[in-house]
Structure 1
Amino acid sequence: MGKKDQVPAEPDREPRVQYAALPWRRDAAGGVEILLITSRETRRWVIPKGWPIKGLKPPETAAREAYEEAGLEGAAGNKKLGLYHYDKRLRSGRLQHVRVAVFALKVAVERDEWPEKGQREKRWITLAQAADLVDEPDLKAIIAAFAPA
């Protein structure tokens, strides 16, 4: 196998973009809870996210991912909360650098059935617990700073 046929070990230079929802609700005492889900392959705690969907704006894409991955429905804010980055391992084995734009999603409905039910765990927890469980430093900061109006 020649040098040009080898799978690159370093991530692509240009990051691809994904859109994520930071699902939240108020608990009985009026505090804020965040919903985290596990990723399908590594089982790390993450927020719902996905690639752009043709015909949908970024907040709408984030809301769609929250439904597909966690059975959540609600209103996604139009203002980006922030960005974080991670490296996604593709089926080819190559690493793809991904930039994720995060949008708040005020959860109105949590469905009993959804497309990826059974593929992930999900958990409602406090902001501090959520910030502690996620791996990406910039996502930790976004969660820790989150203060819904």
Structure 2
Amino acid sequence: MCDLVARTGRHQQRYENGYRLVAGCVPFKYFSCDENCNIRMKKIIKVLMINSPSGPGLLFPKGGWENDETVEEAAVREAIEEAGVRGDLKKYLNDYDFRSKNLQDEFSPEGWCKASMFALYVNEELDSWPEQEKRERKWLTIPEASQLCRHSWMKDALDKFAEYYDTDDDNDDPPGR
């Protein structure tokens, strides 16, 4: 049983100029290279994606940014709630506008959202987390993630993430912020 509880409801939700503000991340970590890897690469990077209960394709964890937290705190919280991972934010990737068909309300009647996305270096995978009954997590290479990604704006965030890390880096530390 999970001791963590996911936040629900909209009473603390942030809005700005008709947009619901959202925070999310591209969780990543390094894996050892197997015998099929490029010999120059000692490690490969993989990103963590989750399924959506509302349809096909995979997503990065994201959700509403609430009034009592910073955007960074919201991104970390969503990673824990939806994907069951903890880690350190390493880089702000960008803001992405998108339209949610099922999350329209009086403050955003058209369903417009603005997502602030970050790279999150994963240092802990939880055995239980708030949304584990409806979410499955999957570690993927960047090309695999791009193929399976449900939303074009998330593919854009993945592309931005891919620009910022160097696969030939011999340093064991994850890229800095």
TM-score range, shorter chain: 0.7 to 0.9
1:33-72 equivalences in 2 (<5 Å): 33-72=46-85
Work out which of the residue numbers 25, 32, 35 in structure 2 matches 1:28. Answer: 32
- C-alpha contact 1:131 1:140 (8 A) present in aligned 2: yes
Q: 1:140 to 1:91 in 2, by over 3 A?
A: closer
Q: 1:145 to 1:90 in 2, by over 3 A?
A: closer
**Which string of whole-angstrom CA distances, capped at 9 and with x for unpartnered residues, describes residues 95-129 of structure 1?**
51111110111000001100101101211000111
- C-alpha contact 1:73 1:107 (8 A) present in aligned 2: yes
CA distance in 1, matches of 2:145, 2:95: 17
Q: TM-score, normalised by structure 2?
A: 0.69
Matched, 1:127 2:139: no
Matched, 1:115 2:130: yes
Work out which of the residue numbers 16, 19, 22 in structure 1 matches 2:20. Answer: 16
User: Which residue is equivalent to 2:170?
Assistant: none
User: Which residue is equivalent to 1:4?
Assistant: none
Aligned length: 135
- C-alpha contact 1:128 1:144 (8 A) present in aligned 2: no
CA distance in 2, matches of 1:128, 1:121: 19
Structure 1 runs of 4+ with >3 Å offset: none
Unaligned runs of 5+ in 1: 1-12
**Which string of whole-angstrom CA distances, capped at 9 and with x for unpartnered residues, describes residues 45-92 of structure 1?**
111111113332111110110001111001113x42012233221377
Work out which of the residue numbers 86, 89, 113 in structure 1 matches 2:98. Answer: 86
CA distance in 1, matches of 2:56, 2:76: 21
Amino acid at match of 1:72: V
Q: TM-score, normalised by structure 1?
A: 0.80
Amino acid at match of 1:51: G
1:95-110 equivalences in 2 (<5 Å): 95-110=110-125
Unaligned runs of 5+ in 2: 1-16, 34-42, 166-174
